[in-house]
């Protein structure tokens, strides 16, 4: 079995070294870079299983690196940032990032997200800005959703929730995970807002169709999967 290769783009030398050691301890092959231009060159220069990308990189921002990577590659991208603003989080996801982690974070959480991204479900197809699971397609660039031949109108928050579920297709996500990723750290809402928005999505994406894609995992949360 080949060792999974991870590129870490982080300009804080202490944090970068810490991540390198922890990931190596978990059995991954790690390459470190400390600026955006080198990160982009490395990202496009060879295959990677995962890229961990800080937003605030010198020379090229993490956002710009992510955007350029997504033109060429489908590699999973986990973005790290000290910014907790929802707009920054949404911007990164719109550019093609698969997950977002706000500093400071517990290393156990980061490793769990790394494992989740590395086992991303095979049912998800990624092509440029388009995410597809079964007959459900979300165009992240145009913020447009279709299922089969039917166009589906979603609010901004519903769309962001759907993209997060698609990027973690076949993974079981807790309400807390969804809340942090879609609404943002410290956002003043109750966890049951996730249930409300899941019901909205189901009414638009599942109820009119015979095959259901959004599934409840009782006592845990939700998963998006075909079959």
Question: How many CB atoms within 10 Å of residue 41?
Answer: 12
Q: Are residues 166 and 132 part of one domain? A: yes
User: CA-to-CA distance for 200 and 191, rounded, in angstroms?
Assistant: 15
Q: Which helix (H) or strand (E) holds 136?
A: strand 136-139
Q: Are residues 134 and 80 part of one domain? A: no
Q: Are residues 136 and 97 part of one domain? A: no
Give the CATH number, domain containing residue 145. 1.10.10.10
Number of structural domains the chain divides into: 2
Q: Are residues 130 and 25 part of one domain? A: no
Instruction: Express as a percent the part of the chain with pLDDT over 90.
Output: 50
Q: Are residues 45 and 97 part of one domain? A: yes
For 45, residues 6+ apart whose C-beta sits below 8 A from its C-beta are none
Give the CATH number, domain containing residue 112. 3.40.50.2300
Question: How many CB atoms within 10 Å of residue 106?
Answer: 9
Average pLDDT, the chain: 86
Looking at 65, 85, 118, the residue that finishes a domain is 118
* 137-163 pLDDT, tens digit each: 998 878 899 999 899 999 989 999 998
Looking at 97, 118, 139, the residue that finishes a domain is 118
Residue 29, CB-side half-sphere exposure with 13 Å CA sphere: 8
Q: What pLDDT is attached to residue 146? A: 95
Looking at 98, 118, 138, the residue that finishes a domain is 118
User: CA-to-CA distance for 135 and 148, rounded, in angstroms?
Assistant: 5
Length of the chain: 227
Query: Higher confidence at residue 121 or residue 58?
Result: 58
Find the domain containing 195 and state its range.
Answer: 124-224
* 96-131 pLDDT, tens digit each: 788 888 888 899 999 998 998 887 644 455 555 678
* 43-52 pLDDT, tens digit each: 988 888 899 9
* 18-48 pLDDT, tens digit each: 999 999 999 999 999 999 999 999 998 888 8
Q: pLDDT band for position 85 (50/70/90)?
A: low
């Amino acid at each position: 079995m080949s060792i999974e290769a991870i590129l870490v783009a982080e300009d804080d030398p202490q944090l970068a070294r810490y991540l390198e050691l922890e990931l190596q301890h978990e059995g991954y092959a790690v390459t470190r870079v400390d600026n955006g231009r080198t990160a982009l060159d490395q990202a496009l220069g060879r295959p990677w299983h995962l890229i961990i990308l800080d937003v605030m990189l010198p020379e090229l921002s993490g956002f710009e690196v992510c955007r350029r990577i997504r033109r060429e590659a489908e590699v999973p991208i986990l973005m790290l940032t000290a910014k907790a603003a929802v707009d920054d989080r949404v911007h990164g996801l719109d550019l093609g990032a698969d997950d977002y982690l706000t500093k400071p974070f517990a290393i156990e959480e980061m490793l769990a997200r790394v494992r989740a991204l590395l086992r991303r479900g095979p049912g998800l197809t990624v092509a440029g800005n388009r995410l597809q699971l079964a007959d459900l397609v979300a165009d992240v660039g145009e913020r447009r959703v279709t299922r089969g031949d039917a166009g589906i109108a979603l609010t901004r928050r519903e769309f962001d929730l759907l993209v997060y579920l698609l990027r973690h297709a076949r993974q079981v996500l807790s309400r807390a995970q969804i809340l942090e990723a879609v609404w943002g750290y410290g956002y003043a809402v109750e966890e049951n807002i996730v249930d409300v928005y899941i019901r909205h999505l189901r009414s638009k994406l599942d109820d009119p169709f015979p095959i259901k894609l959004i599934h409840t995992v009782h006592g845990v949360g939700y998963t998006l999967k075909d079959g």
